[in-house]
Structure 1
Amino acid sequence: MAHSLHLGLFAALALSATTAFAAPATVTVENKTRPTACAEEDNVSMVLRGQGITGFRVEALQPSYIDRIEKDVTAPDFSACNFDGGAHPTDPSYKFKQRRVVLYDGPQWMIVGMTLPSFWRPNRVPVRVGARSGNDFHLVQVFAKSKEKDGKPMEALVLYPADGYWRLKPLPLPRFGDGVYGSSFLMGPVQDAGRPVVDISSITIQTQPLSFRLRFANGGSASVKVAEISQARTALDVSLHPPTQKSRPFAVLRSMFVSMDNADVSELTWQSTPSAAQETKPLPEISSIEAAQVRFARTTPSRHNTSAPDIRFSDFETARRN
């Protein structure tokens, strides 16, 4: 009996000696922006890379000038574009049967799957919420039932299963109606398919607590917990498996920049380490930075998507063993 106890104690000590724990990390952010005069074109690509990243947080935050907005300009502006609101002229077009399916409707959330009549990729990704599912949705929308809006469902999150794009926004302040999206982003093994994409093989959504389980075509996976939806922020806590390799981006922010007053992101604010002083530079002046947290922001009110949120990546972690 004593011998067995000693063996059990030894095994427990050995297990504890190799327990993984999260350690703060920094990532490299590369600016791959190209010039454009079109306010409806995603010409901004901010590429995030890091070695061994296993988790991080991404948030949509109200712009710092939100209280100074006199007129919220949310209408699209195709005045300097070579397309007029339809598909981009360089995109392929695959046809689908249009539909809208309420996948879940509960006291806090409503989750909707939408299939568009056409989309630029043919990919069909199985999406499941409880007993309801579909494999042809181009948008999965999450609506929060806002107390501030008398229980009206307010859209706060959209995931595009066929190309891996996400969009977030906080719940809008009362005077801003339904609010507006700005920048989008990708999370997972990013690759180039004419534009950055993440190939997802399946999506499972849990409603209590609200979270997404993504399996990627390369065999990896991500767990995305919706940590908060409020007027201050919509926040996601992301876990990646396996840990990232620095040779491949694990996230890309996609946005628009024409000028400092016509942009969905016009400057970056970041800390190079968790204890470093905060730095801010205009987007065109940045080629690459090392960051423990980075906010893709605007301090000059934009004449495009004026109230659209800032997007911040933070709390990068690696798994280490003691």
Structure 2
Amino acid sequence: MITLSRLALAGVVAAALAGSAHAASDETRARVDNLSHPTKCAEFDNVYFTLTNPKVRAFRIEVTPPVYLPDLKVDDTAPNFDHCEAMKDDPKFKFQPKNLTLYEDDRIRILGFTHEVSWRARGAEVVIGDVDETDIHLIQLQEKIDGKWTEYLVFYPFDGYWRAKPIPPERFPEAAYGSSFLIGPIEEQHRPIVDVTRLEIDGKARVFRMTFARGGTGELKVENVSREGATLSVKLDGLPEDGDKTAPFAGIRSMFVTPDNADTARVVWRMDGGLFTENVMDFKTSVTDDVRFDRVELSKHNTSAPDVSFRGFAGAAKP
């Protein structure tokens, strides 16, 4: 049962969402569609929401701790493969493994990895200054916090998946990631992906610039990060448009079995009529200024994983 303090915190979260400083215009509100399906396997990303509007060219992603984190006594981040017998096998392609330090200064460190096996036949080209590496599967961003390297952002450039979290609390230094998000023109290749052909990184500025195989470019910048949350600003340019079939510009993948066994359990979205809340499996579609994916009930899976919000939708900047 949620305690009164947790309910109070949930109310604060809802008030913050309802009072978001930026309200998108009617032209740049995002259409949110739910493509999720039920599962009993806690390691399968059955939650899938897309955000679509060909006029959106900028927005923010905010990740914040779950409202129950102050009361959390034990953090459960162990995998759970119960009821996962029917998981679909991925294709397998072999690579020469790499473990690389792509960038490091006194504050920022960026690591790159090529796995021995991947489900796609190629990785992405990653460029940082004079460093130019191919077939990179994983990027890790670390920052020196209290004298220790702390990771809070990862990107899988070979299929376009991002994961972010606040700076972990001292009592849970290995706090979980949880939900993943996609940025750019989403397409289906065995699973939903964003096909990134080239990733250019400005390590000092914490900026990641993507070139998409389907056309166009995207930029993600870490605006700020702390134990209270992280804010990522996104810019898009030149994305392909195809009438009613325009690809989503962003999406979220996550896991839900039950409200107490989920990486995300609720959708909270704002419209002119007020603030609305729905279970992730029951939500259908809406056009909204901002949308939040969260939990208010303690989860037995990735308990410390953060909530994720998409907001601040805007069109192209005027010259």
TM over 0.5: yes
Match of 1:16 in 2: none
Matches within 5 A, 1:50-199: 50-82=53-85, 89-146=88-145, 150-199=146-195
Structure 2 counterpart of 1:218, from 207, 214, 221: 214
Task: Quote the offset at 1:183 in angstroms.
Answer: 0.4
CA displacement, residues 184-204 of structure 1 (integer Å, 9 cap, x when unaligned):
011101000121011111011
Match of 2:200 in 1: 204
The CA distance in 2 between the partners of 1:64 and 1:286, in whole Å, is: 21
Query: Are residue 294 (structure 1) and residue 291 (structure 2) matched?
Result: yes
Taking structure 1 as the reference length, the TM-score comes to: 0.86
Match of 2:5 in 1: none
Structure 2 counterpart of 1:35, from 35, 38, 51: 38
CA contact (8 A) 1:268 1:297 kept: yes
Structure 1 counterpart of 2:52, from 49, 54, 61: 49
Taking structure 2 as the reference length, the TM-score comes to: 0.87
Query: Are residue 232 (structure 1) and residue 228 (structure 2) matched?
Result: yes
The CA distance in 1 between the partners of 2:238 and 2:60, in whole Å, is: 17
CA contact (8 A) 2:24 2:289 kept: no
Partner SS, residue 182 of structure 2? strand
Report the AA paired with residue 30 of structure 1. Answer: D
The CA distance in 1 between the partners of 2:178 and 2:89, in whole Å, is: 22
CA contact (8 A) 1:122 1:162 kept: no
CA contact (8 A) 2:215 2:240 kept: no
The CA distance in 1 between the partners of 2:135 and 2:316, in whole Å, is: 36
Match of 1:12 in 2: none
CA displacement, residues 97-132 of structure 1 (integer Å, 9 cap, x when unaligned):
222100111122110001111111112311011122
* Structure of greater Rg: 1
Match of 1:257 in 2: 256
Structure 2 counterpart of 1:277, from 264, 274, 277: 274
Task: Quote the offset at 1:89 in angstroms.
Answer: 4.1
Partner SS, residue 315 of structure 2? strand
Unaligned ranges ≥5, structure 2: 1-22
The CA distance in 1 between the partners of 2:130 and 2:225, in whole Å, is: 25
Task: Quote the offset at 1:321 in angstroms.
Answer: 6.0
The CA distance in 2 between the partners of 1:55 and 1:320, in whole Å, is: 9
Report the AA paired with residue 159 of structure 2. Answer: D
CA contact (8 A) 2:290 2:311 kept: yes
Report the AA paired with residue 223 of structure 1. Answer: E
After the TM superposition, which segments of 4 or more aligned residues of structure 1 sit over 6 Å from their partners?
Answer: none
The CA distance in 1 between the partners of 2:128 and 2:89, in whole Å, is: 34
CA displacement, residues 160-187 of structure 1 (integer Å, 9 cap, x when unaligned):
1110110111111111122111000111
The CA distance in 2 between the partners of 1:89 and 1:244, in whole Å, is: 31
How many pairs align?
Answer: 292
**Counterparts in 2 of 1:79 and 1:128: CA distance versus 1, 3 Å:** same
The CA distance in 1 between the partners of 2:224 and 2:316, in whole Å, is: 24
% same residue:
39
Q: 33-42 vs 203-212, which deviates more?
A: 203-212
**Counterparts in 2 of 1:320 and 1:203: CA distance versus 1, 3 Å:** closer
CA contact (8 A) 1:52 1:243 kept: no
Report the AA paired with residue 265 of structure 1. Answer: T
The CA distance in 2 between the partners of 1:72 and 1:255, in whole Å, is: 18
**Counterparts in 2 of 1:181 and 1:67: CA distance versus 1, 3 Å:** same
Q: Output the aligned Cα RMSD.
A: 1.8
The CA distance in 1 between the partners of 2:143 and 2:136, in whole Å, is: 20
Report the AA paired with residue 151 of structure 1. Answer: G
The CA distance in 1 between the partners of 2:239 and 2:194, in whole Å, is: 16
The CA distance in 2 between the partners of 1:300 and 1:154, in whole Å, is: 27
Partner SS, residue 112 of structure 1? strand
Partner SS, residue 136 of structure 2? coil
The CA distance in 1 between the partners of 2:72 and 2:24, in whole Å, is: 40
